[in-house]
Amino acid sequence: MKKELTYQEKVFDFLDRQAECKIAIDKLCKPENREKFITVVKSYIDQGIVNGYSTEFSSDYLKIKKFDTILRTPADKLREAING
């Protein structure tokens, strides 16, 4: 039987699967989960650079930005996206 993921595991998994992006928080969580979501994302950010990507909040905590910290060619990025 497959183990049910915790809320934190679901958020971490989602963020791990994202490449460079800017995402509005209101598109990712319900208003009643906003504080919990922000707390979980802060924990993710505290991990530092993960797989060459860094994550941060906008100053107003309305958006998450994930950006590449390693110089990669477009071909490298495509290969990474295909191979996971």
If you average pLDDT over residues 5-26, what whole number do you get? 92
pLDDT exceeds cutoff 70 at 84: no
DSSP, res 11: H
Backbone angles phi, psi at 34, to 5 degrees: -55, -50
Q: How far is CA 78 from CA 33, 72, 73, 75, in A?
A: 33, 10, 9, 5
Query: Does the global pTM surpass 0.85?
Result: no
Residues 46, 12 contacting (CB under 8 angstroms) = no
Residue 77 CA to residue 84 CA, distance in Å, equals 10
If you average pLDDT over residues 57-76, what whole number do you get? 86
pLDDT digit string, tens, across residues 18-53 = 888 899 999 989 999 999 999 999 999 999 888 888
